Structure 1
């Protein structure tokens, strides 16, 4: 295993902790991983003009998905193997990141190279139970500790070593009950994720129609609002950039003033800002960063161009931001306008390796500006959609934690 990487350098997809097997439960037994699976080899006789489907295993147990279709003559590695529905695949070079999963029906007959381990379950474990087992921290840890390499992105899975790890399993009958119960939770999670995706798609579509004025709101008495007017952003408020304290001065990061980077802003939401770092006044004086007043719109103008968030409190930002504090209009309307017109922000970005735009570029940006009361109606309408998306997100988080807790109790 890797032993020269600081633990805080591992990505979230890696579970590097020491595997600890839970005490044996009544009716369960301890077996080796190698007793649970058998290797399957179905060699492909490659034909130049035949078209083959290649797959990949997504990280964090994201499943087996199609990569591309290629003619045999265009596939560089000629040593390939057929996979069938229900096979369990492990990417030998990515398993430390959780790249494994069962082959779905639509990929039956696809092919993989010998970079993949193709497995079937023996008669002492159900596929549905193995599907749960792969989600456990213990399973992820034994995969990590069965891999060797000098860098987490270049580790190689040692199959024989992995086979020797032990695991506790119940009887087939109990496996069926556990898989059925947790499978129902997984189905519900899938439904919730789909609901969240549909709400997000609806939000993007309705924003486009609102800001193109295809959809207009009415006044409370049913009459039309006045026509929208063209305004330059610089006419509607003030703009401030950001900066990063010197990393050589570690004491700069001890303070009570929040400081955020572009990675602290979520895509497709104006309400989510993660604050994990704080700086002090000395750091502000010795860098280009400035204090951004409350009720400002944080606009990522370099790395991650187009991320938008409304800040409700005083804070500082990195140099990747051009921040806007409006003195006219509804701040949430303006934030949603930026979110809807991300392509417009991208269009003014310049550069080769890193594209971005300046405060000056932003000040010249023209915006269609409706009556204040119509701005409020638009902001309230879109906020209500965001609240529904957030509520579904909280349901997903609670259910995932519940599932994780059950798996933890079962195997640890």
Structure 2
């Protein structure tokens, strides 16, 4: 039952194993630190209420609906206050828990959630970070019952039977403060990344359609079909199944519909190619997720991505940026797995400026991409460092000076 591969990555089914108690810490059930809150709300028909849900993988609380009392089907609802710790009984095996933020104070939830408050002996912000630990997640899994992972129900009484290693309250607060500082730095980078992507998106919408021109360029753009500026090389694709890729691990990217699927020991291409999803692509999410990629140098491509190379009248970069966030739903065949056939792909319309103007425009996008990639690299580095620090702080391997 504890075979990790049998479950989604959000689930930790292993047997919880408590480490030796660090000096000065206490080993105890959370029952001695938490209070279950059941502040029942009497719904009024004409009053508006915010109903919330908890995202998986400790993704936080979000507003689910805003309804009049008379339109809420489940009448048994409970009040949330800022700072409470909320557990989704049906989703906690996937890590659905978190702190009620200020903006959701006064929201309501059904009895499908466990609402917890501190009795004064535990810092709930510390508990929030502790919920990221494998041990915490394993205790939640083994406190849930059900025959299917999506139908398991969390039992609070069962969870309270597990013991946790807990530092003194002042140390808990200090740990939460330290990790909170890292979160603020990550949030700051998230905002910078979002702003950069928004700026790039707006600029692409203007520059890729000719609505905004660079100084010195006045030639009229041609409206063409993809077939007029790119050649298809789909006949050179060679798919490898997962076991074959496992045997042929290397450092050459193996591309699929939505990006790199792994790395292999050989290549089919040793040149610049543009990859456009054939099936399984992000076609309906084109505005926020890429439907195309560009690969430089050596690569291997499976049969879920079309392969394009520029003709003499264009550049690979222009094709890539013209397609990466383009709405091509009118050319995609529907069904359980949307597919873009080669013939339909080659009919996709594009704008074609001169080669010189193409290069000037794509230089702008390349600079923006480098800036975004740099910010994302910084963010990923912080996340890795924070994860390592959490592992040290939450186990007592690294101690902090207590703060009253």
Same fold by TM (over 0.5)? yes
TM-score after normalising by structure 1? 0.85
Q: 1:402 aligns with which of 385, 388, 391?
A: 385
**Whole-angstrom distance in 2 between the partners of 1:15 and 1:393:** 27
Q: 1:261 aligns with which of 227, 238, 256?
A: 256
Any unmatched runs of 5+ in structure 2? Answer: 396-404
Shift of 1:184: 1.0
Equivalent residue number for residue 228 of structure 2: 235
CA contact (8 A) 1:293 1:325 kept: no
**Whole-angstrom distance in 2 between the partners of 1:357 and 1:374:** 29
Equivalent residue number for residue 370 of structure 2: 387
**Whole-angstrom distance in 1 between the partners of 2:127 and 2:148:** 28
CA contact (8 A) 2:118 2:124 kept: yes
Q: Does 1:56 find its partner at 2:53?
A: yes
CA contact (8 A) 2:123 2:172 kept: yes
Q: CA 1:278–1:116 in 2, change beyond 3 Å: closer, same or farther?
A: farther
Equivalent residue number for residue 344 of structure 2: 361
CA contact (8 A) 2:121 2:169 kept: yes
**Whole-angstrom distance in 2 between the partners of 1:187 and 1:153:** 33
Equivalent residue number for residue 330 of structure 1: 315
Mapping of residues 109-128 of structure 1, within 5 Å: 109-128=106-125
Shift of 1:225: 5.3
1:135-161: CA deviations, max 9, x gaps?
A: 222212221222222222221112111
Shift of 1:117: 0.2
1:99-135: CA deviations, max 9, x gaps?
A: 1111112222211111000000122111222222122
TM-score after normalising by structure 2? 0.87
SS at match of 1:11: coil
Equivalent residue number for residue 273 of structure 2: 296
Mapping of residues 113-262 of structure 1, within 5 Å: 113-218=110-215, 223-224=216-217, 226-241=219-234, 254-255=247-248, 259-262=254-257
Equivalent residue number for residue 15 of structure 2: 18
Q: Does 1:78 find its partner at 2:75?
A: yes
Q: Does 1:275 find its partner at 2:255?
A: no
Q: 1:316 aligns with which of 289, 301, 304?
A: 301
CA contact (8 A) 2:84 2:124 kept: no
SS at match of 1:53: strand
**Whole-angstrom distance in 1 between the partners of 2:11 and 2:200:** 34
Q: CA 1:56–1:135 in 2, change beyond 3 Å: closer, same or farther?
A: same
Equivalent residue number for residue 376 of structure 1: 359
**Whole-angstrom distance in 2 between the partners of 1:394 and 1:44:** 46
CA contact (8 A) 2:294 2:320 kept: yes
SS at match of 1:130: helix
CA contact (8 A) 2:56 2:97 kept: yes
Size of the aligned set, in residue pairs, is 383
CA contact (8 A) 1:59 1:100 kept: yes
Shift of 1:394: 1.2
Shift of 1:277: 6.4
1:373-405: CA deviations, max 9, x gaps?
A: 221122221111111111111111111111111
1:264-313: CA deviations, max 9, x gaps?
A: x2xxxxxxx34256899xxxxxxxxxx56631111013322351111222
Over aligned residues, Cα RMSD in angstroms?
A: 2.5
SS at match of 1:315: strand
Q: CA 1:246–1:402 in 2, change beyond 3 Å: closer, same or farther?
A: closer
